[in-house]
Amino acid sequence: MKRIITLLFCLCGFGIINVASQTVTEEDFISNLLKQMTLDEKIGQLAQYTYRGNFTGPDGANIPKEEYVKQGKIGSMLNVTGIKEIHRFQELALQSRLRIPLIFGLDVIHGYRTCFPIPLAEAASFDLAMIEETARYNAMESAADGLNWIFGPMVDISWDARWGRVMEGAGEDPYYGSRVAEARVKGIQGNNLADTATVMACIKHFAGYGAPTAGKEYNSVDMSLGQFANFYMPTYHAAIKAGAATVMSAFNDFNNIPSTANDFLLNRLLKQQWGFKGFVVSDYNSVEELVNHRYAYDKKDAAAKALNAGLDMEMVSTCYLTYLKELIQEGKVKEKTLDNAVRRILEKKQELGLFEDPFRYCNPARSAKILNSPEIRNASLRMAERSIVLLENKQSVLPLTSQVKSVALIGGLSKSQNDMAGAWAATTDRSKIITLYDALLQKGLEVNYADGYDLKSNRMTDLQKTLQAARTSDIVLVAVGERANQSGEKAAKVDISIPEEQQRLVSELKKTGKPVVVLVMCGRPVIFNEIKEKADAVLCTWWLGSEAGNAICNVLWGTYNPSAKLPMTFPAHVGQIPIYYQYKSTGRPTSLKQTYTASYIDYSTEPAYPFGYGLSYTTFGYSDLNVLPGKSPDIHAEVSVKVTNQGQRTGEEIVQLYVQDKVASVTRPIKELKGIQKIQMEPGESKTVTFPITNEALGFYDNEMNYKVEPGEFIFMVGGSSNNLQQITFTLK
Ligand code: BGC
């Protein structure tokens, strides 16, 4: 903020303020601008409206948007896309008295024009460099088409796969989720917001949105502060420390106060304690929804409660626009509070370079060069390969060999460009998506296709044709799962099982005696016990985006040896939810042999597939687990382990470190992930992997949210899945 910059040109250019000297600090610039703003103009900066369509909710703002922009009554627009439209809106903003440019935001969740795997799939790669790279490309394509703000990453931790929005996050673990959050923020924002290849990130949804009661969308969230601090808060905090420019408040209430008007969350935790300097935007209509929460009497009360709690910008609803002036005149909101919110927004406009050149993101030549470029598509392919999780591979039926000349391809999902794009890909060029069907044909294979089941009713169709396709082919590939729009926002489910007849179809196909490989296409953990039992191989292929088909083929034929692991537990029964690896011991620890323990009388407590699980075409052995003294004061110890590629193929392993605090002053989980390393090894090669043990690996938050590291015994566990670990103990003096 203290950087001295030459602003004479731009200030005069905008006719905003008179400056005596050639140089002015950025801070002075904003202060001078604020001094010139009327109350209406200030309030206008806090308003964000949607354009065209209802997108994620009704457009309650019944206002002439273009006219309001011209009058300086709007600070930001969402859902304006394409350089032409963005340019047009920006021109309107420059007709306002103070010529303050607009910020343009959009949900770019997994790619703008090029489509990347859904975020949960990317998280399965455990490849932080690659995750940062795709985030960088998301930003680059968005910025090339005029945008300067994307509403992501979503960093909500969730233990509940019924909640459809798990597809947008990084899964269940706060340590790993924090690393993904940092990578995505770095990728989206780079080092400099003014760089026209970057945009602002928006951390959402603050806070606890991933823990709605019963997995129901938009439902209440209630948890102890200790639970919040240890499991749900770390990802938001990590993203803020990584420099995220903006934060979105969540729809839900949090400990009985809606997040959008939650003084504890916004003013105290985010702004005061964490020192967040950016601005907070509400979620879609969530200021007005304070009335539905029955936390505000009316829209006016909602405006006062939200702004006083630290909510800077209102998305879509018009409570601020309509009532803030009155509220300030009545002394119910202080003008200082308004100024603080306006300042935060103007500062970001300045950091984006919009005062210098409001059209800097609207360059058609750059757009033509970047959108859908081969370089970005190539990244989409690499990411998609790294996101596919090999769940079953009985008798090593995979990888397929060149002996396979004909393939029975079953299931409409395998040829649906619409579904392959995933749930949140509004600006993606769907016609350019390579489906599995396309990719198999391009490989020159004989493809005997049959629908197998109806995509709407999920009932089997023409079983004889399907079985005939299988009998006349070398191998059977079956695409099962859910449609892309069955996960994402407003897609909560009470049953996350793959439909019964899809599962039975796999059993029928198995009777032909042909090897059956199942591709599970989904946006969340799904349940498929019959398939698990019957299929020869199962791959979780999520929704993989532009290069989905090619990536799946590369994994099927072993051009890419699968390396992904599950970032979220796959339950065996919907009644086990919420299910997660970091549960607590309880006073009556789960036991298969004893009754009166933490368990069920009618089902196992074991998931179908645990967190961190995923197979490869090779196997890895772990040996020589050791704890060595730390080499610096911040490092208490170093855990090392030797990992050996025991198979015949080059492969990548995700080495995982978990920690258990044996006894603590609050109850702690049986294990918590505290380190990951992705390594590549040739057949027969061994590598020693070392994890530093810092305070972060040993500490926790107590019930008053104080971070503590307590001396005593710890168990360090290392391995390639949360349920298959070697362990060693360590004492912190
Ligand atoms: C979602 C947000 C999204 C916003 C704007 C809301 O319904 O919860 O994640 O950014 O809409 O589209």
Atom of ligand 1 nearest to the CA of 152: 10
Q: Any alpha helices (H) in 520-597, and if so which ranges?
A: 529-534, 548-556
pLDDT at 54: 61
* Residue whose CA lies nearest to ligand 1 atom number 10: 151
User: Where do the CATH 3.40.50.1700 domains begin and end in the chain?
Assistant: 385-576
Q: How far is CA 694 from CA 345, 562, 621, 711, in A?
A: 37, 31, 26, 13
* CA dist., res. 1 & res. 246, Å (int): 17
CB 438 within 8 A of CB 448: no
d(CA 112, CA 655): 32
Confidence (pLDDT) at 63: 85
Distance from residue 84's CA to the centre of ligand 1 (Å): 24
Nearest CA to ligand 1 atom 2: 283
Q: What is the Å distance from ligand 1's center to 195 Cα?
A: 25
Q: Do 234 and 174 form a contact (C-beta atoms < 8 A)?
A: yes
Residues in contact with 400: Cβ distance below 8 Å, sequence separation at least 6, in sequence order: 475, 556, 557, 558
Token readout for 714 is 């710890």
Say how many CA atoms lie within 13 Å of 593 toward its Cβ. Answer: 0
CB atoms within 10 A of CB 204: 27
Q: Which string of DSSP letters, residue by residue, matches 68-84?
A: HHHTT--SEEES--SHH
Atom of ligand 1 nearest to the CA of 204: 9
- Residue to substitute in 283, 314, 424 for testing ligand 1 pocket (most ligand atoms within 8 angstroms of CB): 283
pLDDT at res. 689:
98
Start-to-end CA span in the chain (Å): 43
- List residues near ligand 1 (CB under 6 A): 55-57, 107, 151, 204, 283-284, 489
pLDDT of residue 593: 82
Strand segments (E) across 202-355: 202-206, 246-249, 253-254, 257-258, 279-281, 314-315
pLDDT at 24: 67
Under CATH, which architecture does the 385-576 domain have? 3-Layer(aba) Sandwich (3.40)
Q: Which atom of ligand 1 is found nearest the CA of 151?
A: 10
Range list for CATH 2.60.40.10 in the chain: 620-732
Please tell me the residue having the least CA distance from ligand 1 atom 7.
56
Q: Which two tokens stand for residue 674?
A: 């505290």
Query: What pLDDT, in 10s, does the model give residues 147-204?
Result: 999 999 999 999 999 999 999 999 999 999 999 999 999 999 999 999 999 999 999 9
Q: Which of these is catalytic: 145, 283, 438, 661?
A: 283
Q: Which fold has domain 620-732?
A: Immunoglobulin-like (2.60.40)
**Which residues of the chain carry a pLDDT beneath 70?**
1-24, 53-54
Ligand 1 atom with the smallest distance to the CA of 79 is 12
62: tokens are 């019944």
Q: Who contacts 379 (Cβ-Cβ below 8 Å, separation ≥6)? A: 114, 116, 130, 133, 134, 137
Distance 283 CA to ligand 1 centre (A): 6
For ligand 1, atom 12, name the residue with the nearest CA. Answer: 56
Residue 501: helix, strand or coil by DSSP? Answer: helix
Q: What DSSP string describes 323-371?
A: HHHHHHHTTSS-HHHHHHHHHHHHHHHHHTTTTT-TTTT--HHHHHHHT
CB within 8 A of 234, min separation 6: which ones?
A: 174, 175, 177, 178
283 flagged as catalytic: yes
What percentage of the chain reaches a pLDDT higher than 70? 96
| Residue nearest ligand 1's atom 5 by CA | 284
* Ligand 1 center to 243 CA (angstroms): 21
Q: What is the distance in A from the centroid of ligand 1 to the CA of 150?
A: 11
pLDDT of residue 53: 65
